[in-house]
Amino acid sequence: MPTLQIHDLEPQHAAVVDPRLVLPILGQRAIRASWQVAGVARFKEPLFATGEGATHLEALCQSLKPVSGVLLSQIFGQVEQVIWGEFSAYDDREGTPWVILRAIDSSWCEVETDDVGILDRVHETFADIRMDP
């Protein structure tokens, strides 16, 4: 699946955009999806977030239980920043995820998907987009 890296800074902070700001542009499919919360395996980094909702994300990561898009959105509303994290969306618990959002060390955010509509929305919403090398 193609992977886009978002290197934009949040307008109000000196922090890089993270999955909290990408989730809303994914549309209704993301709200209906089941999400798996995890650390970033390819960098061997555990989930790391700040803010009131961080403990809830950590509990979901440890339990391996899926979370609805509605609940994930609510939890993201209580998170200040996702520093490391991987969020995979499934239409059902079978098969492969249709989109994966990753926070990479507060350096960039990744969106991995085959959905051309989502890739287009990422390009329309954010300014500093790079292809994963």
Eight-state DSSP code of residue 106: T
In a domain, 131, yes or no: no
Residue 95 belongs to what domain range?
A: 3-126
In a domain, 133, yes or no: no
Eight-state DSSP code of residue 90: E
Count of the separate structural domains present in the chain: 1
Eight-state DSSP code of residue 43: G
In a domain, 107, yes or no: yes
Q: Tell me how far apart the alpha carbons of residues 90 and 99 are, in angstroms, rounded to a whole number.
A: 8
Q: What pLDDT score does 89 carry? A: 97
Indicate whether 133 pLDDT > 70.
no
Structure tokens at 52: 């009131």
The SS3 assignment for 29 reads helix
In a domain, 76, yes or no: yes
Residue range 46-102, pLDDT digits in tens: 999 999 999 999 999 999 999 999 999 999 999 999 999 999 999 976 689 999 999
Quick one: which H or E segment has residue 129? strand 129-131
In a domain, 33, yes or no: yes
